[in-house]
Amino acid sequence: MQATIYHNPRCSKSRAALALLRAADADVTIVEYLKTPPDRTTLAALLARGGLGPRDVLRRTEPGAAALTGADDAAILDAMLADPILMERPLVATARGVVLARPPERVADIL
């Protein structure tokens, strides 16, 4: 099974999700989204496939997130594209769907 993980190697949840994918023998493409962020079309498609909105994947603990409290989805998406650290991680995509793997065990839903 093919899987793509939007990954931050410094994040324990992201590392755990990657380990679960590897344990399931998935053929994993790793995208370090802080170095290579998805473009708007890709991010919007991922969110749509997962039934997620930009607010669902907004990393609220980041300082830049506070300014987005009353923002609409388009503004949140723009902010995440401009500063990818605002994206919660890890996002995992397979042919069966997309999940925000928090907790990491959620990857089982799409394997």
Q: Is 11 exposed, middle or buried (0-12, 13-18, 19+ CB in 10 A)?
A: middle
> Beta-strand (E) ranges in the chain?
2-7, 27-32, 91-94, 97-100
Torsion of CA 39, 43, 49, 51, to 10 degrees: -160
The verdict on whether 66 is a catalytic residue reads no
Identify the active-site residue in 2, 11, 32, 78.
11
Q: Is 42 helix (H, G, I), strand (E, B) or coil?
A: helix
Tokens 């930009």 belong to 54
Active site (catalytic) residues: 11
